[in-house]
Amino acid sequence: MNHLIEFSYAIVTLLVEMSPYLLLGFAFAGLLSVLVSQEKIESQIGKQGFLSNLKAVLYGIPLPLCSCGVIPVSASLKRHGASKGSIISFLVATPQTGIDSILATYGVLGVPILIFKLIVALLSGLVAGSLSDIYDRNKEEKKRTTCADECCDDDEKNIFLKGFNYGFKTLPKDIAEPLIIGIVLSGVIAFLANFESVQSAIAVIPNNFGGTIIKILIAMSFSIPMYICATASVPLAYVIATSLGSPGAAVALLIAGPATNISTITTTLKIVGRKSTLIYIGTVIAFGFIGGILADLMSLQFAAKPHHHDHGISLISIIYIFSLIAILFLALIGKKSIEKTPQSISLKVRGMTCSHCESSVVKALMSLGGSKKVIANHKTEEVIIDSDNFDLSKVKSILNELNYEFRGINE
């Protein structure tokens, strides 16, 4: 019973720190979704060079896109003529941050690690993009294609509703599962860290430079291949930092975890090729490792703001926690209704991982002549098309451009 109480206490502690900043992050993310259009980003980072790479990083840092969500945006950047360097800069920097993650990091890990994290995101994006420009230059200037996507639609009606829906419905749907998993794993790690056997194993790690490297490698070894968004990495980073006594391990996880995972790496190969993908992976790993070492050498403070648990949890904290839980619960149970008509064609499409993927597929297929309605569901890997002029070859071509795999027509 005591173990269950300790586990619950660890989770509630994290929720007290994270919930107000996550809610504020959702609100800011919704605001950004209507103020910073994809078209605006694409118009700024089309050319090859350091300035385009810098703009890609600066635009990408506040955007709440995970390592999977950044893929359809990067594919669109490529279609609109962006250079490999600027795409790589965007791919590296964007998943590490996001306005929701920035506020959560501030609330749980504090200002020093937040500033350090932002500096690393900026530098790693610039270095990766510059290396791609040097060693994997575009062989020919790509022409911008005519865009019929919603990103290039200037219709600004219902801006408030659009921002609210994105911030409190679409974004939570993308991060609800990994965020909940991250919080639960954090509770499990915090719970296990109280056992004497675990504490004895941690104590074996020397408290010197070699020990720092071991702790950082432990954090990176499981964070790189797994899918973990920037926001979900925050509670894990906090628990790892406190358990191992290493802010460097937390920084390494914050950098390497959100910026890479197996599905992102394989898709990036299709978008920018093998050489730039290797640059992308190598830069993330190098900056995660070096950043972690520097964080430990600088003895960055990582403890969350002090609590006063003797006085219990405040009413406002309870409201924040239950509001967050309600938003995440609705995001998990919300199901996309797919209404089929006799004219509907159901396609099996593999590779969609989030709502950004769905949006990219819908917008691209709606640009085809005759398309009346398109619905995509990444969980069922299904795309429903209502069209007066269905052309399978064009559909396959568009899906291939977006780096999604057409698996056939459902019966």
Residues 154 and 239 placed together within one structural domain of the fold: yes
Model confidence at 146, pLDDT cuts 50, 70, 90, reads very low
Residue type, 317: S
Using the 3D structure, point to which of 309, 330, 364 is the last residue of a domain. 309
Pairing, β 405-409 against β 382-387: unpaired
**What pLDDT does residue 68 have?**
66
N-term to C-term CA, the chain: 51
Residues 239 and 155 placed together within one structural domain of the fold: yes
Residues 87 and 228 placed together within one structural domain of the fold: yes
Q: Is residue 175 part of a domain?
A: yes
Report the C-alpha gap between 177 and 180 in whole angstroms: 5
H/E stretch holding 175 reads helix 171-192
Residues 185 and 304 placed together within one structural domain of the fold: yes
CATH of the domain at 352: 3.30.70.100
Pairing, β 345-350 against β 382-387: antiparallel
Task: Look up residue 334 and give its two tokens.
Answer: 């919300």
Q: Is residue 316 part of a domain?
A: no
Residues 365 and 259 placed together within one structural domain of the fold: no
Taking 70 as the threshold, does the pLDDT of residue 39 lie above it?
no
Residues 371 and 283 placed together within one structural domain of the fold: no
Q: How does the average pLDDT of the chain come out, rounded? A: 80
Residues 231 and 86 placed together within one structural domain of the fold: yes
Among residues 253, 255, 233, the alpha carbon closest in space to that of 128 is found at 255
Q: Is residue 317 part of a domain?
A: no
Report the C-alpha gap between 202 and 38 in whole angstroms: 46
**Lowest-confidence pick of 9-18, 53-62, 141-150:** 141-150
Residues 286 and 360 placed together within one structural domain of the fold: no
Model confidence at 127, pLDDT cuts 50, 70, 90, reads very high
Report the C-alpha gap between 87 and 91 in whole angstroms: 6
Domain of 199? 2-309
Predicted confidence (pLDDT) per residue in 257-270, tens digit:
887 766 677 777 87
Provide CB contacts within 8 A for 158, sequence distance 6+.
Answer: none
Using the 3D structure, point to which of 254, 282, 309 is the last residue of a domain. 309
pTM: 0.72
Taking 50 as the threshold, does the pLDDT of residue 310 lie above it?
no
**What pLDDT does residue 33 have?**
76
Q: Is residue 205 part of a domain?
A: yes
Query: Percent of the chain, pLDDT > 70?
Result: 84
Pair 122, 84: CB distance under 8 Å: no
Residues 193 and 239 placed together within one structural domain of the fold: yes
**Lowest-confidence pick of 88-92, 334-338, 375-379:** 334-338
